[in-house]
Amino acid sequence: MTLSDKLRAGKKPNSPWGHSIAHDDRFSLKLPWKETFTFGYHESSPDSVVPFFESTLGMDFEPAGKVHQKYCEEMKRLALSITEVLAISLGLDRSYYREFFEDGCSIMRCNSYPPCQEPSLVLGTGPHCDPAALTILHQDQVEGLEVFVNDKWYKVRPRTHALVINIGDTFTALTNGRYKSCPHRAVVNRHRERRSLTIFLCPREARVIAPEVPGFFTWSDLLRFTQKHYRADQSTLPKFKGWLLSLQDRNLDC
């Protein structure tokens, strides 16, 4: 994308879709060092990715739109198959989560991390757990992804033809913590641009998620919380619980 493509496709206020340069307003410690292009993929309108590319980036991007549309289609199919394995592992009917997620709008993000002269002063993506249910991540051959396990950051080295699957906070909530979301981050380097593709499996906005959080919540509540009130990090779910309870208290006071 050229600079003018990026400007044309720039995310509008209150819209989750489009091009953005890391949310520097939402970080306090290290400056984020990345660009993202975000769009939605919904099975009820599977052909909507190409028109989105054309309308935000221009007609030249039709072929890119087609590739990304196909990618989303295949990844959604894969994500739903993974939910079957997860359901079986929990002793549930294999289609239990498939039916739960089938009609949701997936969020697709193309990340680019340019080389940085001072990599120790920035972070590509700060430490966080993904708020959605499942993430399928494809990274190029440049290292950068790290996961936090037993108080240590470990590199997730790129492997040709391998995808990284992450559990997100929504799945943690749905399974009452039996599956735990995984804290991760992306660091940058001095020499090479790094690229990754992430697709997030989300429920339909109005879907009720139970029972981890008192007083049920919907996916759109969690989405609103992470977009408007609190940047997703390792404490999103406990912070979200507190926020929901404070809203309930406020409603009771009224």
Catalytic residues: 194
Two structure tokens written together for 10: 């720039």
Cβ proximity to ligand AKG, 146 vs 221, nearer residue = 146
Instruction: For tokens 């997936």, name the residue.
Output: 106
On the question of a cis peptide bond just before residue 203, with omega within 30 degrees of 0, the verdict is no
**Which listed range, 15-23, 55-63, 107-115, 126-134, lies at the site for Fe ion (CB under 5 A)?**
126-134
108 binds, among ligand AKG, Fe ion, none (CB under 5 to 8 A by kind): none
38 binds, among ligand AKG, Fe ion, none (CB under 5 to 8 A by kind): none
Residue-wise burial string across 28-47, b where 16 or more C-beta atoms lie within 10 A, e elsewhere:
eeeebbbbbbbbbbeeeeee
Strand extents, DSSP E, 129-172? 134-139, 145-149, 152-155, 164-167
| 146 binding Fe ion? (CB under 5 A) | no
18-21 and 35-42 strand pairing = antiparallel
139 binds, among ligand AKG, Fe ion, none (CB under 5 to 8 A by kind): ligand AKG
Cβ proximity to Fe ion, 130 vs 221, nearer residue = 130
Report how far residue 156's alpha carbon sits from residue 167's, in angstroms, rounded to the nearest whole number: 15
| 125 binding ligand AKG? (CB under 6 A) | yes
| 130 binding Fe ion? (CB under 5 A) | yes
**Which listed range, 1-9, 57-65, 88-96, 139-147, lies at the site for ligand AKG (CB under 6 A)?**
139-147
Residue type at 198 in one-letter notation? T
| 196 binding ligand AKG? (CB under 6 A) | yes
Helix runs in the chain, H state only: 3-8, 49-57, 62-89, 96-101, 169-174, 219-224, 236-253
Given strand 145-149, what is the order of strands in its sheet?
125-128, 184-186, 145-149, 152-155
Cβ proximity to Fe ion, 5 vs 35, nearer residue = 35
| 130 binding ligand AKG? (CB under 6 A) | yes
| 198 binding ligand AKG? (CB under 6 A) | yes
Identify residues 170-189 at the interface with ligand AKG (CB under 6 A).
Answer: 184, 186
**Which listed range, 4-12, 16-24, 73-81, 130-138, lies at the site for Fe ion (CB under 5 A)?**
130-138
The residue ranges that bind Fe ion (CB under 5 A) are 130
The residue ranges that bind ligand AKG (CB under 6 A) are 109, 111, 125, 130, 137, 139, 144-145, 184, 186, 196, 198
